[in-house]
Amino acid sequence: MASATGVGNGAAAPASRVGKVIIRCGAVTKAGRPCTNAAGPDGHCIAHSRSPQALATVQAARAAGGRAPRVRIGLAPAVVEAVDLRDSEGQLAVLTAATKALAQGSISSTVASAMSQLVKVAARIVAGDQERAIAELQQRVEALVIEGKVRP
C-alpha cells in the first residue's frame, strides 16, 4: 500500500550503529566474496586470523564444543593379532572385542559394523565347509553300508 511508504523497508540503520565504524575482515571467503565478519586486532575475523592467539582460541572452542574429529585408537595390537575367523569361537571373540571397543569409543560404529559383516562372511564360509564335510562323511558311510562292512 502507498500509505505505508517508509515503514519497515529495512533501509534505515538502527540509531545505535550510526557513526560507529565497523572494521570488516579483509579476507575473501571460499565463495570468493569479501568476509563480512568484524575484524580483530590483526585486521581479520576469528575464522581468517592466523595469529597464534586466534588459532589457539579456535582450537579450544572446537575441543570444548566437541566438533573436532573424534580420535579413534582402534583395537589393541594384541587383539588384532589374536583374530581368528576359522571357527565360531574365534568369530565370537572378534565380535566381543568389537562390541567392547565400540562401547569404549575406540572404534567407530562404521568400523564395528564392517567387522561384523566380515565375521558373517567367515561364518558362512565355515558353515559351507562343514556342510561339504558332512556330505562327504554321509557318502563314505553309505559306501561302507553298500559294501556290507557296516550295518545301517
107 lies in the site for Zn ion, by CB under 5 A: no
42 touches Zn ion (CB under 5 A): no
Instruction: By CB under 5 A, name the one of 33, 40, 45, 82 that touches Zn ion.
Output: 45
End-to-end CA distance of the chain: 102
Q: How many residues bind Zn ion (CB under 5 A)?
A: 6
Nearer to Zn ion, 37 or 108 (CB): 37
Least distance from Zn ion to the Cβ atom of residue 55, Å: 14
All three cell numbers of 29, joined, read 571467503
Quick check: 109 and 102 in contact, CB under 8 A?
yes
Q: Environment class of residue 151 by beta-carbon count within 10 Å: exposed (0-12), middle (13-18) or buried (19+)?
A: exposed
What is the nearest approach in angstroms of Zn ion to the Cβ of residue 30? 11
- Residues within window 10-39 making contact with Zn ion, judged by CB under 5 A: 25, 27, 35, 37
HEC secondary structure over 118-142: HHHHHHHHHHHHHHHHHHHHHHHHH
Q: Are 85 and 117 in contact (CB under 8 A)?
A: no
Nearer to Zn ion, 35 or 122 (CB): 35
The SS3 assignment for 107 reads: coil
Could you tell me the smallest distance in angstroms from the CB atom of residue 123 to Zn ion? 54
Give contact residues for Zn ion (rule: CB under 5 A): 25, 27, 35, 37, 45, 48
